[in-house]
Amino acid sequence: MGLRDEFGTIARYFAPLSAGAPGAFGLTNDAAVIPPDGEQGLVTTIDALVEGVHFLPDDPADLVARKLLRTNLSDLAAMGAKPESYLLTMALDKARDESWIASFAAGLAADQAQYAVVLLGGDTVSTPGPMTLSLAAFGRVPGQTVLERGTAKPGDSIYVSGTIGDGALGLLVRQSRLTGLAERDRAFLELRYRLPEPRTTLGPALLGLATACLDVSDGLVADLGHIAENSGLGVELRSDAIPLSEAAQTVLGDDPDLLPLLLTGGDDYELAFTLAPEDAGALEALARETGTAVTCIGRTVEAPGVVVLDRDARPLALAGSGWTHF
Amino acid sequence: MGLRDEFGTIARYFAPLSAGAPGAFGLTNDAAVIPPDGEQGLVTTIDALVEGVHFLPDDPADLVARKLLRTNLSDLAAMGAKPESYLLTMALDKARDESWIASFAAGLAADQAQYAVVLLGGDTVSTPGPMTLSLAAFGRVPGQTVLERGTAKPGDSIYVSGTIGDGALGLLVRQSRLTGLAERDRAFLELRYRLPEPRTTLGPALLGLATACLDVSDGLVADLGHIAENSGLGVELRSDAIPLSEAAQTVLGDDPDLLPLLLTGGDDYELAFTLAPEDAGALEALARETGTAVTCIGRTVEAPGVVVLDRDARPLALAGSGWTHF
């Protein structure tokens, strides 16, 4: 309610995105039906993005849409859930014209195809302020078993998927605060910031193997701090074990002082998880099967907190353990 | 992510609201689990509210919270679903201090007790602009059968619950555009605007009886237009049959020109529904059982559109058929 020609916009751009979900009723009803799927549990999460806080006003609409969806799919993956559907709210300012909405919907359509998810419903309203978006995503797990962040055991190995720090560097690139990069590295890092790749295959495969799991959105150190605190233990990382992309290695070669940023910056959307050391072989097999790189970066310890050791096993001083949005 | 002391705020004010839902994990994980409930279908809906558009900056925080929750419960009721749980996002400006958040959470707690719903998860972020809230609610229906808006039949009787137009008048009161009322009427109308009463008992009871249903949020005429258009028929209302509160009758007695506003204003959050004329007795029995007033206000006809007849059976001219937010 409230948006000019809300019904026309919904019918034209959003109703087609609900085509695969009979329970969405073509977005014509007050609500949507999610049918039961045997004994499978439904997992749900919600995130909000604010223009100027979580994305920039001139970010392409299709990438904003895809990042909004993907950050939620990353939350589902962190719980071991296979994504299925989503709800969307958009508070749009008057500057958003139909072409912006068309591009936004096209971004959603692309990711719906890539991740096999479908739009169930939503709400579009107008706002005098920055555009504000929220998305609630739904996924399935067999039974009620999910991956949690507070269930790591002492002596577990700590792993991350993919590479860490690209999102933080991509944001610097985007803000023109990191210049002089080769075009290939610049494009790679910016894309990693704008278009995270949620680990939707790895996450569900970790059910029954990982002892704890979350997605790295607030920064590796802060997020491992969540695992530590919620599990009642500590974590010890080896900085030289943390997997970096070629682009990040190049940047770090030029300016080694950026290491703390890589470890504490956000927007990685990789999975960080723990498992018993004896399950390392099973994990490696699974990583091959799912085509996802995983790297052991440390272990859980009894002393609380997060310690990062440098290559000489001396604790690194980290200015901040969390992430402050621009 | 992004709010100052997000984790402290969540632990202090929002985690207690999740106490009844084991699948919420005390709001410490990335997502929440909604367990299956036999063959019951899950119904879900999402709404966004923007400060200055859907509520006023000085509205009490507890009432803003309750209206946000209740508008979603009204959507569930319109589909025949019994409410169960919800997700919440809050984009908060810097002016919102801890007392505001405490009051907001207290409002949610009050309505959680009243409607037997529980918080499953959420996201709090900061915004430089107007506060923007979104809430996704979940409810249950037996099997996959829901009430829809596009399934009315020709010759059905049209009913509404409660009284119509109080929300629109309450907004005028709130904006100081309707003055000179007795204190009792003023307070009644303002409360009807600020704190709608979703028909969470009537809605589920209409399953299998009503042929179509929705909640009146855009205005009675516009919403019955949705039933008409989606059902491929028209509706004919008798203006003198539309149930008005004592306060609305008093206002209308002073200024009969306000009648179109009552019929087209929004924020009623009553149910409007259709049923076969021969089911009138069953509905009356059900209304008594659930303690909800229901009133027959017209019928469906073959000619498309919405016609409102005055007491002399002449069509009324209505300036607008929809609702423009202030």
- CATH code of B157-309, in short, is 3.90.650.10
Q: Do A31 and B1 touch (CB under 8 A)?
A: no
Residue B308 near residue B316 (C-beta atoms within 8 A): yes
Does the beta-carbon distance from B29 to A87 stay under 8 Å?
no
For residue B31, the chain A residues in CB contact (below 8 A) are 43-45, 75-76, 78-79, 81, 139, 146
Cα radius of gyration (chain A): 20
pLDDT for B38: 84
ipTM computed for the complex: 0.90
Q: Which tokens hold the place of A167?
A: 């999102």
Please give the CATH number for the structural domain made up of A6-141.
3.30.1330.10
What angle separates helix B246-254 from helix B166-174, to the nearest 10 degrees? Answer: 70
Query: Buried b vs exposed e over A290-312: b needs ≥16 C-beta within 10 Å?
Result: bebebbbbbbbbeeeebbbbeee
Closest approach of chain A CAs to the CA of B179, in angstroms?
A: 26
**C-alpha separations of A155 from A158, A234, A277, B107 in Å:** 9, 10, 8, 44
All structural domains of chain B with their residue ranges: 6-141, 157-309
Assess B167–A contact: CB distance below 8 Å, yes or no. no
Cβ distance A1 to B218 less than 8 Å, yes or no, reads yes
Which of chain A's residues have a Cβ under 8 Å away from the Cβ of B48? 89-91, 123, 125, 132, 134
Paired with A46 in beta bridges are: A136
A43 has a chain B CB within 8 A of its CB: yes
Q: Is B229 on the interface with A (CB under 8 A)?
A: no
**pLDDT per residue as tens digits for the range A57-70:** 888 999 999 999 99
pLDDT score of B324: 34
pTM: 0.92
Give me the tens of pLDDT residue by residue for chain B, a chain 326 residues long.
Answer: 345 566 677 888 999 999 988 899 888 888 999 988 888 899 999 999 999 988 888 899 999 999 999 999 999 999 999 999 999 999 999 888 889 999 999 999 999 999 999 999 999 999 999 999 999 999 999 988 899 999 999 999 999 999 999 999 999 999 899 999 999 999 999 999 999 999 999 999 999 999 999 999 999 999 999 999 999 999 999 999 999 999 999 999 999 999 999 999 989 999 999 999 999 999 999 999 999 999 999 999 999 999 999 889 999 877 554 433 33
Distance from C-alpha of B170 to C-alpha of B185, rounded to nearest angstrom: 10
Q: Residues A86-103: what's their mean pLDDT? A: 92
User: In the β-sheet with A305-309, what is the strand arrangement from edge to edge?
Assistant: A212-215, A271-275, A157-161, A294-301, A234-238, A305-309
Question: Please, which residues have CB within 8 angstroms of residue B314's CB and are 6 or more apart in sequence?
Answer: none
